[in-house]
Chain A
Amino acid sequence: EVQLVESGGGLVQPGRSLRLSCAASDFTFDDYAMHWVRQAPGKGLEWVSGISWNSGRIGYADSVQGRFTISRDNAKNSLYLQMNSLRAEDTALYYCAKDMGSGDNRGAFDIWGQGTMVTVSS
């Protein structure tokens, strides 16, 4: 079964760091761009960051630029999000999502994980 499983969330103090992971299975991971999308409690979806199939292109939302770093390890079928200088407003459920477009093509997000919760609080 095609699947994405996030891990690494938890309670962290403001200013500290956290690293999220996303394990992919049953599809050719290194063919597709991957993304992180977050959802604050009771709020809408916010695209956080995306990375192309070969890590050649990377993008960030303005709200996390300079604090978050996305990366992937195609040999391990894994996606990561390093989150530094965390703020209360980063509190959210973080989803990993697969891009439909293969290679350098972009598309919608056809596969989503169930999310990992990050709570930033003292």
Chain B
Amino acid sequence: EIVLTQSPGTLSLSPGERATLSCRASQSFSSMYLAWYQQKPGQAPRLLIYSASNRATGIPDRFSGSGSGTDFTLTISRLEPEDFAVYYCQQCGSSLRDTFGQGTKLEFK
């Protein structure tokens, strides 16, 4: 099983600032199978990024993803008030043994 470790656990920033979230895997896998989700309180998760760097439908271009192998990054270029939420990375490989990271909470500073 691939273990995903997200850092930091909590990120305190202000609107307009840049956010950089990290997701590190216990073993290398194809970037085709790395996704990022946003979850707000009381809501289901929403897909932001798939295949490490592709934005999902309707996702603003201030969200970007990068990385390969074992190290992946979600960047939010200029934070908007609605971006404060919890973010999860996921590996969704062909073996049907998916895993999620433990999440990064992005909070107002």
Contact between chains at A44 and B103 (CB < 8 Å): yes
For B73-100 the 0/1 string (1 means CB < 8 A from A) is: 0000000000000101010111111111
In the assembly, what is the distance between CA of A100 and CA of B102, in Å?
Answer: 22
For the complex formed, measure the closest distance between the CB of B72 and the CB atoms of chain A, giving whole angstroms: 13
For the complex formed, measure the closest distance between the CB of A40 and the CB atoms of chain B, giving whole angstroms: 12
The answer, among A95, A106, A110, for a CB contact under 8 Å with B94, is A106
Q: Which residues of B contact A99 (CB under 8 A)?
A: 92
Query: Which residues of chain B from 15 to 62 have any CB-CB distance to chain A below 8 Å in the complex?
Result: 33, 35, 37, 39, 44-47, 50-51, 56-57
How many of chain A's residues touch chain B, expressed as a range?
20 to 34
- Chain A residue, CB-CB nearest to B103: A44
Q: Which residues of B contact A57 (CB under 8 A)?
A: 96
Q: Which residues of B contact A62 (CB under 8 A)?
A: 1
For the complex formed, measure the closest distance between the CB of A22 and the CB atoms of chain B, giving whole angstroms: 12
Contact between chains at A114 and B47 (CB < 8 Å): no
Query: Which residues of chain A from 75 to 122 have any CB-CB distance to chain B below 8 Å in the complex?
Result: 95, 99-100, 106-110, 112-115
Contact between chains at A108 and B90 (CB < 8 Å): yes
- Chain A residue, CB-CB nearest to B94: A106
The answer, among B35, B45, B94, for a CB contact under 8 Å with A112, is B45
Contact between chains at B92 and A107 (CB < 8 Å): yes
Q: Which residues of A contact B56 (CB under 8 A)?
A: 108, 110
Contact between chains at A35 and B98 (CB < 8 Å): yes
Contact between chains at B100 and A108 (CB < 8 Å): no
Q: Which of B33, B96, B100, B102 has the most CB atoms of chain A within a 10 A radius of its CB?
A: B96
Which B residues lie at the A interface, using CB under 8 A? 1, 33, 35, 37, 39, 44-47, 50-51, 56-57, 86, 88, 90, 92-103
Known contacts A59-B95, A109-B92; 9 additional CB pairs below 8 A are A35-B98, A47-B98, A50-B96, A51-B96, A59-B97, A107-B50, A108-B35, A108-B51, A109-B37
Which A residues lie at the B interface, using CB under 8 A? 33, 35, 37, 44-47, 50-52, 57-59, 61-62, 95, 99-100, 106-110, 112-115
12 contacts between A and B (CB under 8 A): A37-B100, A44-B86, A45-B100, A58-B96, A59-B97, A106-B33, A106-B93, A107-B51, A108-B50, A109-B37, A109-B92, A110-B56
